[in-house]
Amino acid sequence: MTIKNAGNRSNTADKSATKGKDEIEPILTSLNDNVQKIKQTLGNSTDIVVREVFVGKDGSQAIAVIYTDGLADKIVVDDFIMNSILKHSQIADFGDSEIPTEDLFTILKKHALTTVEILEIADYKKLFHSLLSGETIILIDGCDKGISASTQGWKDRGVMEPSTESVIRGPREAFSETIRTNTALVRRKIKDPNLWIETKQIGHVTQTDVVIMYINGIANDKVIEEVKIRLDRIDIDGILESGYIEALIQDETYTPFPTIYNTERPDVIAAELLEGKVAILVDGTPFVLVVPALFVSFLHSAEDYYHRADVSSLIRLLRYLGVFISLFGPSLYVAITTYHQEMLPTQLLISLVAQREGIPFPAFIEAIMMEVAFEILREAGLRMPRTIGPAVSIVGTLVIGQAAVEAGIVSAAMVIVVSTTAIASFVFPSYDLANTIRMLRFPLMALAATFGIFGIAVGVMAIVLHLCSLRTFGVPYMSPFAPLILSDQKDAIFRAPQWAMTSRPRLISQKNIKRANNPSSKKPGAKK
DSSP state string for 440-504 = HHHHHHHHHHHHTHHHHHHHHHHHHHHHHH-EETTEETTTTTTTT-GGGTTBSSSB--GGG--B-
- Between the ranges 12-26, 52-66, 106-120, 128-142, where is the mean pLDDT highest? 128-142
3-state secondary structure of 364: helix
3-state secondary structure of 138: strand
* Stretch among 12-16, 329-333, 452-456 having the lowest mean pLDDT: 12-16
Q: Say what the pLDDT of residue 100 is.
A: 65
Q: Mean pLDDT across the stretch 252-279?
A: 92
Q: Say what the pLDDT of residue 17 is.
A: 39
Q: Is the peptide bond before 480 cis (omega within 30 degrees of 0)?
A: yes
3-state secondary structure of 72: strand
Q: Mean pLDDT across the stretch 232-240?
A: 93
Q: Say what the pLDDT of residue 2 is.
A: 38
Q: Mean pLDDT across the stretch 254-282?
A: 93
Q: Say what the pLDDT of residue 14 is.
A: 45
Residue 254 shares a structural domain with residue 322:
no
Residue 88 shares a structural domain with residue 31:
yes
Mean pLDDT over each residue of the chain, to the nearest integer: 85
Model confidence at 4, pLDDT cuts 50, 70, 90, reads: very low
Model confidence at 35, pLDDT cuts 50, 70, 90, reads: very high
Residue 230 shares a structural domain with residue 322:
no
Whether residue 278 is contained in a domain is answered as yes
Where is pLDDT greater, at 387 or 16? 387
* Stretch among 225-234, 350-359, 432-441 having the lowest mean pLDDT: 350-359
Q: Does the pLDDT of residue 209 top 70, yes or no?
A: yes
Last residue of a domain, one of 244, 265, 293: 293
Q: Say what the pLDDT of residue 155 is.
A: 76
Q: Say what the pLDDT of residue 333 is.
A: 93
Residue 285 shares a structural domain with residue 321:
no
Where is pLDDT greater, at 273 or 88? 273
Model confidence at 41, pLDDT cuts 50, 70, 90, reads: very high
Q: Say what the pLDDT of residue 157 is.
A: 80
Residue 449 shares a structural domain with residue 317:
yes
Last residue of a domain, one of 461, 476, 491: 476
Residue 235 shares a structural domain with residue 140:
no
Q: Mean pLDDT across the stretch 62-83?
A: 90
Q: Mean pLDDT across the stretch 164-179?
A: 88
Q: Mean pLDDT across the stretch 40-69?
A: 88
- Between the ranges 346-350, 380-384, 397-401, where is the mean pLDDT highest? 346-350
Model confidence at 522, pLDDT cuts 50, 70, 90, reads: low
Number of domains the chain is built from: 3
* Residue 416: count of CB within 10 angstroms of its CB: 13
Residue 60 shares a structural domain with residue 101:
yes
* Residue 457: count of CB within 10 angstroms of its CB: 13
Q: Say what the pLDDT of residue 499 is.
A: 84
Q: Say what the pLDDT of residue 390 is.
A: 67
Last residue of a domain, one of 261, 293, 325: 293
Whether residue 253 is contained in a domain is answered as yes
Q: Residue 402 is part of which domain span? A: 309-476
Residue 334 shares a structural domain with residue 446:
yes
Whether residue 512 is contained in a domain is answered as no
Q: 129-157: per-residue pLDDT in tens?
A: 999 988 999 999 888 899 999 998 877 78
Q: 310-326: per-residue pLDDT in tens?
A: 999 999 999 999 999 99
Q: Say what the pLDDT of residue 517 is.
A: 56
Q: Does the pLDDT of residue 516 top 90, yes or no?
A: no
Where is pLDDT greater, at 10 or 391? 391
Q: 238-265: per-residue pLDDT in tens?
A: 999 999 999 999 988 889 999 999 999 9
Q: Map 215-228 to HEC letters.
A: ECCCCCHHHHHHHH
Q: Say what the pLDDT of residue 446 is.
A: 95
Residue 277 shares a structural domain with residue 318:
no
User: 498 near 271, Cβ under 8 Å?
Assistant: no
Residue 375 shares a structural domain with residue 407:
yes
Rounded Cα distance, 244 and 249, in Å: 9
Instruction: Tell me phi and psi for residue 357, to 5 degrees.
Output: -65, 120
Rounded Cα distance, 416 and 55, in Å: 81
Residue 138 shares a structural domain with residue 186:
no
Q: Is the peptide bond before 483 cis (omega within 30 degrees of 0)?
A: yes
Q: Does the pLDDT of residue 20 top 50, yes or no?
A: no
What is the helix, strand, coil percentage profile of the chain, to 5? 50, 15, 35
Q: Does the pLDDT of residue 457 top 60, yes or no?
A: yes
Where is pLDDT greater, at 275 or 398? 275
Whether residue 203 is contained in a domain is answered as yes
Q: Does the pLDDT of residue 98 top 60, yes or no?
A: no
* Stretch among 320-324, 372-376, 475-479 having the lowest mean pLDDT: 372-376
Q: Say what the pLDDT of residue 22 is.
A: 55
Q: Are strands 261-263 and 278-282 parallel, antiparallel or unpaired?
A: unpaired
Whether residue 523 is contained in a domain is answered as no
Residue 340 shares a structural domain with residue 248:
no
Backbone dihedral region for residue 525 (phi beyond 0: left; psi -120 to 50: alpha; all else: beta): left
